[in-house]
Structure 1
């Protein structure tokens, strides 16, 4: 019988790991969209084992969770390409968007025998961001119309649940803006609030909070943002919620930080609920985000990010004015928890366990309704995040999360330092968070350290930090990742000669530019990354069509800058191996971006395997794809650093892709 001896010295990269490809892909679901209605908690599960289909799941006290959508429905949407906000619930009625046909369907939670009723279905139409009218007769939504030539047209619509609206199943409520989000009816059903914005703004740079009486389309009023901004400066607004028929809350960053503001419709007055140097708000990449919850007793529960780290705050009205701010212990929610009786329901993303839908109260261990997966290993196998501060090139300070290697079975041999993987998040207006991630644990459990960087432009640090990337994409993000890697190399905790960098989408551009700008990295991996900014500006989808105006410069006037910042034209400065992983159905960063870059690198003799995945778009969803991608990347680093991973099983085609770049393994 084999005796287990913990923490045996084993060369880094070759550690046997309990974080297997099947665990990270097929046996792990992606949880999102927690909602509550009556005594029911609902959430979405995206399942790689079902080719990335998303099911709506429900749980009631005393019962087991169960699917409430049939296998034919994929509860997701492609509005703005990134989706979100694909369902809404009111009482026992649910409305969903079906990704497979773009249609809108309704069904009753208490009737598991009836087929979902189709409310809207037309080729070329997409729907998202649903909200029920208080009377239950209609649902409001963002509609994206792809039926005409040119850019799709976005509007706000009302969709009938029972009959027709003036002879049709749906009616346009608001139009004319380039983008809409979060239609929110007042409690009496007579008014509608929403967020809108126009090119070239992105919702996190400049948007408008609007209100309209539903009986008068000409009554639209801009409460905040746009030319009516009180400060005269750009203002990002999001997440409107009604307190009553005369009071509206929303998130604004007019004070430099996203936080909750109170708007009195009768007087037009606006005031911040609290002033904290923390970010209560998120960049509007997807619909359905929730950063605060209005509680029945007048208090507000808020999800805040301070110095890159997540915390929950309870905002209690004071007798005079303003709100008292109190930290509250509710795990590490990925979205703000919702009141559920005398408890709360939320998606917990704590760093020491897989994400899970839970119900609980402050200071108590929550009841787990559904975990993304069951971890077949203990705490010794989980790398914990360490917040690291490091100096930037201009004297400012950057932040990253550092994860040392972790294993109950292995340890780093004496005289060896672990290799390190630097991660550049996408967006670039996104952020590295401290929640549990298989994209981190896959590496740390095999003897790698991971450094997840919040470079300039990341959210969670206030508007000024986001604006550090204005006109500087491909410059400051690159400098910051290099600075972070250099800081850790100098710390003596990682091997300075075995540092690689990886990133997806916008992070892919950062990866390639960093390889061209520094010799600190031994290799890089670009997952559906941007390589030619000119092509991206001309070919990408509507939501991001003018995004680069702020990050790079106006197109085409700044074409020279676009060319200078594009990795495609830096290929002669890259001399280390680069792996490219690309979906063939990617509408955000088309496959030709990766192909052109690979061709340019090959002309310079650079090792640059390219693996393409059929049926995958911008972000991989399928079980087979996810498993292959993890294993290909691990095998790639094995080739770079000269080790043989313990548990990689590549297909003949994937082995050939690496052999074609490196040559066969001896």
Structure 2
């Protein structure tokens, strides 16, 4: 970690403050000249094992902080918390010189305070006060003054916002109706954050706090001020499907997910088997078969495997989910073992088990929804992107639960992933699969591209032609295998796109292709006017 004076030009050397760790993050300077930071080493990721360190910044003879590059030697650091099996993050100095940080030492990422040599848990509870540190600069809590911290917390992947009173230890929730909370900022009297809701797009908001009653906005109308919404076109209430928390059992314990039932109140009834007229909501006629498929039978369902894989899904409004549910297709968003939001032990279920636990949990979730009578067991699809696409491809080549799959630039070859990635994630697979190359055989066995002969379901492959993470030849190999087995298959290569689509026209086209694909393989005619999709062997 270095110090650089903004007035210095590029010819001036940087002052090295500390060295030796593989990664440094979250530097924070106190009012009295102490520095706190987070560090960790390969092969750990920041949600595995990190260290919270502090050191006193060097001073000159007059007692002023001296970061002159000519001064030799780094600082002398002291470890405050963390180590093997403990993830610490987000250090912040209080006005009195005590240090706040987040640690999962008791299974959950909770808030702690170090005063002198004493570390105290501020609000012990089965909830996460920070998430996995994928990026720098996250602000899951903010110090408002000497007595209060504004913070967000995640309980079962439903997020909350509140004020923690340090003197009394009380945590008062601010009622916002939100289920997702972004980074926080405060001037002591106001909070600024992004709020995500279950039934409408996210908003950037300012909350004015009443010092005598901090959990209620001080404005006369009692509402927060919306600075900007992420969409100028709010959805129609009758088209919004709200998530239902569901769980099912696995060999490792309960698994969590969000179930979104089909909903489109433009129809005479929901898609639950009750009568409808012979027109879809676009006014076009449909034949009896199409009508019966989507309205008098249990609906098809898409099982979604989130990316990461160290991450989690909240019940926040997602236009893509609503795209499906408004068209009569249920969605199961799976927080498989390894997901965040349920504590460290749940997160560690995926240790050396990526491609096993996630796949088993997605398959078991789909079966559970079918057994409960919510969806049609004959029309179960699975979809994922990147790491989630890996789970999708593994599920299609190692289980018989799903009758269709959609892979968006899914990882098919784990050895290629290890060979070509950046420093931050270069050894991430070691905790997910095993050491490489010592366990190269495990990587090969868990790579879906080596099991294409077991593919036994129609598949749609969406791929960017310039993808450097998942080369196009992996999607082409899967397409060839499906083609050779006589399975319905479609491969769409988007020119100029990399790992993740960016052009609006390609994002729209990909979604239309997904709907057309499922309509063809599941036997229904979408109400949308869609471009023709060429599906081989169908």
- Structure 2-normalised TM-score? 0.85
Which position in structure 2 is the counterpart of 1:304?
A: 153
Per the alignment, do residues 328 and 628 of structure 1 end up closer, same or farther by CA in structure 2, a change over 3 Å counting? same
Q: Name 1:77's counterpart in structure 2.
A: none
What displacement does 1:253 show? 0.6
- Matched residue of 1:244: which SS? coil
Deviation at 1:245, TM superposition (A): 6.7
Correspondence list, 1:141-540, <5 A? 156-161=1-6, 163-164=7-8, 168=12, 172-188=16-32, 190-215=33-58, 217-226=74-83, 233-244=84-95, 246-264=97-115, 267-318=116-167, 323-332=169-178, 333-340=180-187, 342-361=189-208, 362-363=215-216, 364-394=222-252, 396-410=253-267, 411-412=270-271, 413-414=273-274, 415-540=296-421
Gaps spanning 5+ residues in structure 2: where? 59-72, 209-214, 217-221, 275-295
RMSD value, Cα:
2.3
Query: CA 1:286/1:342 → structure 2, altered by over 3 Å: closer, same or farther?
Result: same
Q: Tell me: CA distance 1:566–1:159, structure 2 relative to 1, closer, same or farther (3 Å).
A: same
Q: Retained in 1: the 8 A contact 2:95–2:146? A: no
Relative to its length, the structure with more strand (as a share) is 1
Which residue is 1:625 aligned to?
A: 506
Query: 1:393·1:480 contact (CA, 8 Å) conserved in 2?
Result: no
Q: Could you give the per-residue CA deviations for residues 451-499 of structure 1, whole angstroms, max 9, x where no partner exists? A: 1111000000000000111111111111111111111101112111111
Judged with a 3 Å threshold, the aligned counterparts in structure 2 of structure 1 residues 356 and 376 are, in CA distance, closer, same or farther, namely closer
Structure 1 residues 377 and 466: CA distance shift in structure 2, 3 A = closer
How far did 1:592 drift? 3.8
Q: Distance in 2 between matches of 1:383 and 1:193?
A: 45
Tell me, in whole angstroms, the C-alpha distance in 1 between the residues paired with 2:26 and 2:474.
Answer: 33
Distance 1:535 1:166 in 2: 37
Unmatched tracts of structure 1, length 5 or more: 1-155, 227-232
Aligned-partner SS, 1:217:
coil
* Structure 1 residue 172: Cα displacement: 4.8
The equivalent residue for 2:291 is none
Shift of the 274–610 alpha-carbon distance from structure 1 to 2, 3 Å rule, reads same
Q: CA deviation at 1:169?
A: 8.1
Deviations 1:32-52 (A, max 9, x none): xxxxxxxxxxxxxxxxxxxxx
Distance 2:5 2:529 in 1: 53
User: Offset of 1:213 from its aligned partner?
Assistant: 2.9
Q: Find the aligned partners of 2:493 and 2:426 in 1 and give their Cα distance.
A: 25
**TM-score (ref. length: structure 1):** 0.69
Contact 1:489 1:496 (8 Å CA) reproduced: yes
How far apart are the structure 1 equivalents of 2:122 and 2:140?
A: 14
Instruction: Quote the Cα distance in structure 2 between the aligned partners of 1:648 and 1:196.
Output: 53
